[in-house]
Amino acid sequence: MRLQPIILLAALFLTSCTPAASPQKDMEFTRVPNPFPPDVQQWAEDNKLSHHATEKVFQDKRYILVSYGKKSTGGYKIFIENVIVSDDKITVTVKHSDPAPGAIVTQALTFPQDLVWIENLDLPIEYVATGDQSSIKKE
C-alpha cells in the first residue's frame, strides 16, 4: 500500500485549514528629545511618578509615553524599543534596565521616561515589557 499520497493529501488539508496570521510590520516612530516640547511637557510631568504607559493625541500625532516611576538613584532606564502594527492592534515593546548591583550611580531622585510619536492610527495599543521588568501597566 502506498502511504505517500495519503500523507501528502492529509498535510495539504491541514495546512489549508489553518487561519492565516495577521500581517505585521514595523511602524516608523519618532523619538521626542528631552526636554519635551511645551505642548507635551506638562502631560509628561503629570505622568512621571508611576511605572506605566499612556498615550495622547496632539496635533494629529499619537504620542506614546512610558514612565518608570520615581527612582531613588540614577541608572534606571526605560525606552520604547519598537512599534509593530497589525490589522487589529499596535504592539509597543518597552525595554527596562536597572543598575547592576554595586554599580556607581547618581545619588539623586530620577524619573526615567521615554516619549515617541507615531501616525495617529485608530487602533488599540498593547504594551510588552522586556528587560528587567516583565510587565507595564497601561493607563
pLDDT digits (tens, 9 = 90+) for 64-109: 999 999 999 999 999 999 999 999 999 999 999 999 999 999 999 9
**Residue of 65, 63, 129 lying closest to 95 (CA atoms):** 129
**What is the distance between the alpha carbons of residues 15 and 120, in angstroms, rounded to a whole number?**
36
For position 131, what pLDDT does the model report? 97
Grid coordinates belonging to 45: 510631568
Grid coordinates belonging to 139: 493607563
**What is the distance between the alpha carbons of residues 51 and 29, in angstroms, rounded to a whole number?**
22
Grid coordinates belonging to 110: 530620577
Span 29-37, mean pLDDT?
91
For position 9, what pLDDT does the model report? 47
More confident residue, 107 or 5: 107
Residue 130 Cα to chain centre, angstroms: 9
For position 69, what pLDDT does the model report? 98
